Chains A and B, each alone.
Chain A
Amino acid sequence: MILQGWEAVFFWVFSIAAIFAGLLTVMARNAVHSALFLISSLLSVAALFVLLGAEFIAGVQILVYVGGVMVLFLFVIMLVNVGAEEQGRSEILNKPRQVAVSLGFCLLLVGGLLFAINTGYRGLQKRDEAKLSGSAEQRLLQDQTLARGATGTSRITTDTQKVGNSLYRFASLPFEIASILLLVAIIGSVMLARTLKQEAAVDDVDPEVLLAKVAEEADLAEN
């Protein structure tokens, strides 16, 4: 798998953008800025997916992550109070000793992962040398056989079709399990985010009785 020409340029642009946006996500003082940088990092990674020929996943990434999950994050940031952090009155990082240890751990991780990728990739290259030799030309030839888009300048890829085939042929049971997972997530988050009053209304208890009980329990916990 080798990118050529303009694809290589776009690879460097988007990968550097993804890494810098990721770094700024972690370092930004304001949580809203963090969320916006994370959105740009996710968009850059979606562009890398397009370069890799996974148009369907890129679309899903933008729709689900950027359109759904990040909006949820922004809502929660607005609901909770983060004023002290952005005005510089509060520390954004853990205690210095914890930070030093975790950064040391991350450096070790960098070294280990880069070493593993280097040696592993060399071995992989040696194994698949014959198969990979003409793959770029073959891919170009394959692209020539695809149907043209409406404007005539681009080709319609069959990526989504392939993913759908593979998903329903080999992974239909995990697909059903994923739907149950989403159902559990919906019910769980609704249950978790209820207020005391809503909880009382559902359980058919008088709110005052519940409040008194909660206060009693808090007293017990304190003593």
Chain B
Amino acid sequence: MGIPVVLSVKNLEVVYDDVVLAARGVSLEVPDGKIVALLGANGSGKTTVLRALSGMLDIHEGSIRKGAVYLGDEDVSALSPTALAKRGVRHVLEGRRVFKELSVEENLRVGAHVARKDLKTNLARVYDLFPRLQERRSGQAGYLSGGEQQMLAIGRSMMSDPRFLLLDEPSLGLAPLVVAQIRDIIVEINAQGTGVLLVEQNATMALQIAHHGYVAETGRIVMDRPAAQLLADDDIREFYLGLGAEGDRTSYRDLKHYRRRKRWAS
């Protein structure tokens, strides 16, 4: 793949509809070939960061007020999703968003839109990653199970052999067993050389496989540590993993007072 490249945002400020401030000075880095987890509650600006990275702010009336997105040393903030996809940045949208009325293979072919020449190689690679998709290749995508649809959504993005894969909540609404499958696939994809930015609410799953983790809160990055340190952090354990300081599960029953969710920034 040549020299390592870092996909990064620096001091990013994003505004929707000219009024809603969704990211306030976010900086984060996704190094080539690593898995980076971005954790945070609803409305903390995780998806906004992904949209900035993949050029998809525009259709949501969002715009970058300050800061920039970099691919290596190049400022790619103003590039279209098509241009970014061609450069190897692929965004897997939250909620799977497969093309329900197209067949599985047609979905994958749409995914290869920016890499039409290598369709065969990529198709073989994706079917290798997801044998289940090959079994159902001519079936309509809308009739796949939730887990299969997520596989299809990820496989579709892998059809252009991306350098960076941006995953928005791949575990959303899936059974624990399926979440584990998706997790293993992300590790496998990463092992093949693709950098992954994993946005998750399922912090346990994300931190298990990530090399580095960020925690976002109301549009800011409030923690930025190696994943192992985050996993060991008392606050993270309590508020994202639901474990007590000793590692056993706590229950609200044991607490004298119900404490509000921990906030670092305010």
Are the chains A and B members of one assembly?
no
